[in-house]
Structure 1
Amino acid sequence: MLILLQVLLQLLGFILLSLSLQRHYNDVFGQTQRPTKQTIRLLKFMGFAALIVAITSAVYTWGSALGLVYFFATASLVASALAMLLAYFGKIKAVIN
């Protein structure tokens, strides 16, 4: 159950960090909308905050040795899944439309 919490927190953090990039923001929200500098800063701050909460909860729950192992293991899983999703999101979106 706690690993699921890690996955969800990291997924939220990585999604927010990827939305702070212009390319991914345009892929998700459309080419006509451009994020403001304040929106980009807010997305980055919230993304890093979610990752800090995830690593803090992992270290608090499992200790420093296992907590860091679980954090980085789930981070690699979530980052790989999100990278594949973002890579093929435009192709899937084009097929649906």
Structure 2
Amino acid sequence: MDYQYPMDMDWTTEEIVNVIRFFESVEKAYESKIPKDDLMSAYRRFKEIVPGKADEKKYTDEFKEVSGYSAYLVMKKAKETADGDPVSMK
């Protein structure tokens, strides 16, 4: 990883860690696979920190720009994946 995760300097350290955990989950879906429950848990926590759709889009678009990984497509795939199955973009 040769990029920085998007974040808001007003977030607490715990919130920053949780947002990074969500983006790492997106990376894992692209690079290998991640249990759907783990991904959904990371996303729910991300949404507690970034509840607005506009802000979510801003941060996930910034992440896609620097990483090439689409959080939107990963979450779309997760919704299509059966519970208990891993999510993978491969």
Identify the TM-score tier after normalising by the shorter chain: 0.3 to 0.5
Give TM-score scaled by structure 1 length: 0.35
**If each structure's helix is expressed as a fraction of its own residues, which one has the higher value?**
1
**If each structure's strand is expressed as a fraction of its own residues, which one has the higher value?**
2
